[in-house]
Amino acid sequence: MKMTELDTPSLLIDREIMMDNIRRMQLYADQYDVHLRPHTKTHKMPALAKLQEDAGAKGITVAKVGEAEVMAENGLNDIFIANEIVGEVKLNRVKKLAETINISFGVDSIEQCEMIEDVFSDSHKPAQVLIEIEVGENRSGVIEESDYIRLVDYIKNCSHVKLKGIFSHDGHTYKAKDLEDCRRLYNEAQKRTLRFAQLAEEQGCKLETVSIGSTPPLLHDFGVMEGITELRVGTYILMDVSQGNAIGSYSTCAASVLTTVISKPTNERVITDVGAKGLTMQTRSEGICATTGIGYIKNSDQVHIDQLFDEHAIIYNEEFRNQIAIGEKLEIIPNHICPVCNLYDYAYLVSEGEVVEEISILGRGKLQ
């Protein structure tokens, strides 16, 4: 069917744009002779993860154990959980996955590793862990070198925990004031990550993996420093308004939400049938990824969603209101695609306006 025949709201993915995005990032990783391990929390679809691996990705990244389980059930067998996994229930689930696939996950404290050592004490395979390094985002990860050295030394003496590597996330680059600031933050994050890799080596631990990643710097050719072994990047496959703003174009935005105009109650107000439950209310307030409104009307002259209710999107634009009719369908490019994918059961792969495949979002709601 034609995509305009779909009921709304519907999540659309332009096949050609998506495949171009997949190939472009893989070529970037290949150029610098590093592995690409895409973060699939962006799309939560095993079918898309397989396309990324088919293009050359070494494995995939997920954010939650539930996402790892879904991906493993659907044939993905090299998975890194880029998060601290804490608690007996979750660690036992990881231990079960480790029986059949290559799986690793993040740590940043001795207390966490004590739990892992205990849970994996009866496993024939040690838990594979990567230490997270805090590089400026002010989130999780080791900050002080002294704490890091103590953690490395503790893991060295564990019988059931193996230190595979380290990882960092330079998410603060989203707030870079311009591209030069983005380059600076990215390079500082790389240098800090490599410093911690050196510290591990000084403690007698040669790391297999030194992993970095966030989308904004990797949309530009800022390079990859020697010693980095892996790029862990997610949003690039579908892109969104914030990432489009980082490169000054929405031409690589593969995902959009199809919505129907249901009301034009005033001379300037337009109402469509997707609200916060299908678009989220996320915005970005500063830097190269700063957004206007709560979503961009695709192929419009800077028309944005001004307001969202649970089931309604509101646009205030008299000129736009006079150009469209009730019943007409619009495409909205979301500000942040990752949480949007988590709101739908299916995505529709489209090519030149035709629906070519319905893809189940099997990782939807896998938050545990």
Based on its alpha-carbon atoms, the radius of gyration of the chain, rounded to whole angstroms, reads 22
* 170 inside domain: yes
Residues 163, 311 within the same domain: no
Looking at the structure, tell me whether residues 31 and 100 fall in a common domain. yes
Domain contains 366: no
184/277 same-domain check: no
- Residue 160 counted as domain residue: yes
The answer to whether position 365 is within a domain reads no
pLDDT score, position 295: 98
50, part of any domain: yes
Q: Are residues 273 and 289 in the same domain?
A: yes
Average pLDDT (203-232) is 96
Strands (E), the chain: 10-14, 35-36, 60-62, 78-84, 102-107, 127-133, 161-168, 209-212, 230-231, 255-263, 269-272, 296-297, 307-308, 313-316, 329-333, 346-351, 354-360
Q: pLDDT tens digits for 188-201?
A: 999 999 999 999 99
Instruction: Look at residue 40 and give its three-state secondary structure.
Output: coil
Number of domains in the chain: 2
Bridge partner residues of 61 (DSSP): 39, 80
**What is the pLDDT confidence band of residue 320, given thresholds at 50, 70 and 90?**
very high
Which band of pLDDT confidence, cut at 50, 70 and 90, is reported for residue 59?
very high
Strands (E) across 200-325 are located at: 209-212, 230-231, 255-263, 269-272, 296-297, 307-308, 313-316
- Report the C-alpha gap between 368 and 366 in whole angstroms: 6
Do 64 and 191 fall within a single domain? yes
Q: How far is Cα 178 from Cα 346, in angstroms, rounded to an integer?
A: 36
Residue 296: give the domain boundaries: 3-10+242-360
Q: Are residues 103 and 199 in the same domain?
A: yes
Query: Do residues 166 and 276 both lie within one domain?
Result: no
